[in-house]
């Protein structure tokens, strides 16, 4: 060890300043070694300080090669607010147990429709053989409305959410060409869910209604409605009759069937 080192000492410690990014105040300062810190803060990072979790919103500098060299690091952080489970409410009384299969969008079509994942299969056509299972699901949904709902302004919120596990996949067998012919649709679009494409999905439109679903080659195996108006009921009745189906609005436990 040289004379300079004997007098002033050497240290591999990094001075870390923790700043609350909400108010700009310093939470604390600590001398830390490189192995106590991540190699980079370019990825989301959470640290536990003073019995609280904090997310790092900005690190100066960002990478270990730099703050090891400068022996200085500033972390601008925000406290992770933990939500009280009693404050969590749902905006829908029911969701499907089956989740849509998605993939990255790589092609363009004549039009795209966007839906939220919670709206997947909320208004759908099912085989008439599904009627007993539909009634079972309705019982669960009506229980949510009766015992776990409240009004909040113009909206209704739900403390619990009924997951439809009994109904399963629709397994429709509709010829896609026949469906387009019945609805007088020629253009076919894509379905966007949370920024991604519904795998084997399609969207078609009439003057009254926007339909979407999934295909197995040229056979429609799922058929749902995304947007409608007062004249949509007539189209639903036509589809029910042509393909021996029923239509379900799960949110309100409504059923449309012919006869």
Domain presence at residue 60: yes
Whether 153 and 56 share a structural domain: no
Cβ-Cβ contacts under 8 Å for 43 (sequence gap 6 or more): none
Residue at a domain's end among 44, 79, 114: 79
Asked whether residue 104 falls in the same domain as residue 232, the answer is: yes
Distance CA 194, CA 185 (A): 26
| In-domain check, residue 91 | yes
The candidate with the shortest Cα–Cα distance to 141, out of 198, 199, 92, is 92
Q: At what angle do helices 176-183 and 232-243 cross, to 10 degrees?
A: 140
Query: Residue 4: what pLDDT?
Result: 35
pLDDT of residue 11: 60
Q: What is the pLDDT of residue 110?
A: 80
Residues 155 and 138 in one domain: yes
Provide the domain limits for residue 166: 87-253
Instruction: Count CB-CB contacts under 10 A for residue 24.
Output: 8
Nearest alpha-carbon partner for 77 in 38, 150, 24, 36:
24
Reported residue count of the chain is: 259
Is there a single domain that holds both residue 17 and residue 98?
Answer: no
Among 79, 101, 129, the domain boundary falls at 79
Scan for tokens 């309705």, then name that residue: 138
Q: Are the C-beta atoms of residues 193 and 214 closer than 8 Å to each other?
A: no
Q: How far apart are CA 43 and CA 173, in angstroms?
A: 46
| Whether residue 102 is found in the same domain as residue 74 | no
pLDDT tens sequence for the chain (259 residues): 443 343 334 468 999 999 999 999 998 899 999 888 998 998 889 988 878 889 999 999 999 999 999 999 999 999 888 767 677 889 999 999 998 999 988 888 888 999 998 899 999 999 999 999 999 999 999 999 999 999 988 889 999 999 999 999 999 999 999 999 999 998 999 999 988 999 999 999 999 999 999 999 999 999 999 999 999 999 999 999 999 999 999 999 999 998 6
Q: Are 112 and 191 within 8 A, CB to CB?
A: yes
Q: Is residue 228 part of a domain?
A: yes
* Residues 197 and 131 placed together within one structural domain of the fold: yes
Q: Which of 139, 143, 226 is nearest to 191 (CA)?
A: 226
Q: Do 66 and 73 touch, CB atoms closer than 8 A?
A: no
Domains: count for the chain: 2
Do residue 50 and residue 92 come from a single domain?
Answer: no
- Beta pairing, strands 72-79 & 14-20: parallel
Last residue of a domain, one of 31, 50, 79: 79
The verdict on residue 186 lying in a domain is yes
136 with 206, same domain?
yes
Q: Is residue 259 part of a domain?
A: no
Q: Is residue 17 domain-resident?
A: yes
74 shares its domain with 105? no
Is the pTM higher than 0.75? The answer reads no
Write the burial class of residue 38 (CB in 10 Å: 0-12 exposed, 13-18 middle, 19+ buried): middle
Is position 2 within any domain?
no
What local confidence, expressed as pLDDT, does residue 88 receive?
82
- 103/68 same-domain check: no
Rounded Cα distance between 238 and 193, Å, is: 28
């Amino acid at each position: 060890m040289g004379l300079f080192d004997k007098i002033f000492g050497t240290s591999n410690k990094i001075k870390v300043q923790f700043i609350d990014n909400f108010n700009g105040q310093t939470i604390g300062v600590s001398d830390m070694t490189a192995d106590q810190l991540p190699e980079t803060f370019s990825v989301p990072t959470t640290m536990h300080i003073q019995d609280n979790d904090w997310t790092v919103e900005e690190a100066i500098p960002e990478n270990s090669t730099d703050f090891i060299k400068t022996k200085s690091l500033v972390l601008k952080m925000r406290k992770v607010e933990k939500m009280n489970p009693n404050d969590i409410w749902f905006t829908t009384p029911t969701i499907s147990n089956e989740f849509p299969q998605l993939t990255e969008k790589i092609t363009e079509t004549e039009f795209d429709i966007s839906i939220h994942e919670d709206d997947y299969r909320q208004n759908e056509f099912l085989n008439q053989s599904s009627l007993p299972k539909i009634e079972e699901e309705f019982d669960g949904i009506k229980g949510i409305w009766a015992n776990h709902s409240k009004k909040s302004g113009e909206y209704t919120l739900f403390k619990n959410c009924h997951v439809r596990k009994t109904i399963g996949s629709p397994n429709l067998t509709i010829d896609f060409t026949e469906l387009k012919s019945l609805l007088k649709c020629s253009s076919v679009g894509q379905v966007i869910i949370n920024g991604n494409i519904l795998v084997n999905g399609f969207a078609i439109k009439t003057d009254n209604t926007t339909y979407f679903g999934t295909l197995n080659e040229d056979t429609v195996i799922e058929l749902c409605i995304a947007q409608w108006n007062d004249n949509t009921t007539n189209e639903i009745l036509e589809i029910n009759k042509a393909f021996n189906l029923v239509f379900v609005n799960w949110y309100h436990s409504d059923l449309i069937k012919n006869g």
